[in-house]
Structure 1
Amino acid sequence: MTITTEELLAARTAWGNGLIQISKTFEDEGIDAARAIATDVLNAAYGYGMGPVLFKPTLSGGAQTFRTDQAGALSYFVGHSDEYPQDSGFGIKGWREVRSETAAEFIEGDVGMWMGWIDCVNKDGSTTRVDKSFGYKKDDAGVLRIVLHHSSLPYQV
């Protein structure tokens, strides 16, 4: 069950497509539908069934910087949560394209790490670039799951 470079790319592509789907669903059908799609995306991409996911969202801070459960991740992606009042919903920002650029990757057996840049392009054509690290592990069925997701805005010199 060794992970391949192609699987890492496919996982990032699926993650980006999920982000776009969340945004479009929010625009077309509102927050409840976006929340349902985001739940599906999280279930498909992340390893919450394997244990805690180490998730540090791009725009989080204070006591809620790190999200180790699905409820915290869902709030980050769609906002509208009383438990996480600072979350504005990164996934509902009108995303239309997601591109990745690899800085490096590490693969050993059923564990793979990737880091690089993710460019999210919104419906107005504005791009948000984030520094991103994903850690992946294959589950018992051989499905690649995100078990580490760290994201931050690039350091400004």
Structure 2
Amino acid sequence: MNRKSIFTVSALMTVLAAPAATWAASCTPSITEAEVQQAQQNWGKGLVAIGAAQDPKATAEKFISETYAYQDGKVLFKPTKAAVTEFRDTPDEALSYFVKGSLPEDQGFALAPYTNVRFENHAITYDCNTAISMGNYYFTGKDGSVTKVDYTMGFIKTADGKLKINIQHSSLPYVPHS
């Protein structure tokens, strides 16, 4: 390689890195860790409220409207116990999952009922008006049993300043065969 080639590669790397550096410098996260944790607590309390409600469907509709960003754009939702219709692209599909509705595989996840949902964040990343958390949540059943579930949740800050979920992927932890 001659000196001109080395300079060209170096110059190219500088040019390619500049937009990323400029973008990162122009973006100040507007979501805090406390806001993410509050949104997670609200999600857990909302799920528990569905199972305890006299009218679970109405409670779930309100929960979905207040918690998920369906009215603000695309929501990527992959529930834990969804196999046939793995992804829930609409509020109606989310409602079906939580309270047993339009999709035959749904058994009403929120109707278990749960008495508590506890989040244990592995990490949270922030970027402008978004945040992504990953970790485990623990669902406590009426009998005191606890189920550990892996999760990833993405949050956006809506125009009215509320934090809503735009990404949620849940799965049961991998258990290797003995």
TM over 0.5: yes
For 2:75 and 2:152, how far apart are their aligned partners in 1?
A: 13
Instruction: Give the alignment of 1:60-139 within 5 angstroms.
Output: 60-62=82-84, 64-79=85-100, 81=101, 83-139=102-158
Percent of aligned positions with the same letter in both sequences? Answer: 38
Correspondence for 1:2 among 30, 38, 58: 30
Distance (Å, rounded) in 1 between the aligned partners of 2:148 and 2:155: 21
RMSD: 0.9
1:52 CA displacement: 2.1
SS at match of 2:170: strand
Using structure 2 for the length normalisation, give the TM-score. 0.81
Q: Which runs of 5+ in 1 are unaligned?
A: none
Q: Does 1:54 align with 2:82?
A: no
* 1:155 maps onto 2:174 in alignment: yes
TM-score normalised by structure 1 residue count:
0.92
Task: Give the 3-state SS of the residue equivalent to 1:67 in structure 2.
Answer: coil
For residues 142 and 121 of structure 1, the distance between their equivalents in structure 2, rounded to whole angstroms, comes to 31
Greater than 6 Å deviation, 4+ residue runs:
none
Matched positions, count: 148
Distance 1:48 1:106 in 2: 22
- Point out where structure 2 has 5 or more consecutive residues left out of the alignment: 1-28
For 1:139 and 1:49, how far apart are their aligned partners in 2?
10
Cα deviation digits, residues 39-69 of structure 1 (max 9, x gap): 101111110111121000000113x111111
Q: Which has the larger radius of gyration?
A: 2
Classify the secondary structure of the residue corresponding to 1:141. coil
Flag the structure with more relative contact order, 1 or 2, with Cα contacts below 8 A and sequence separation at least 6: 1
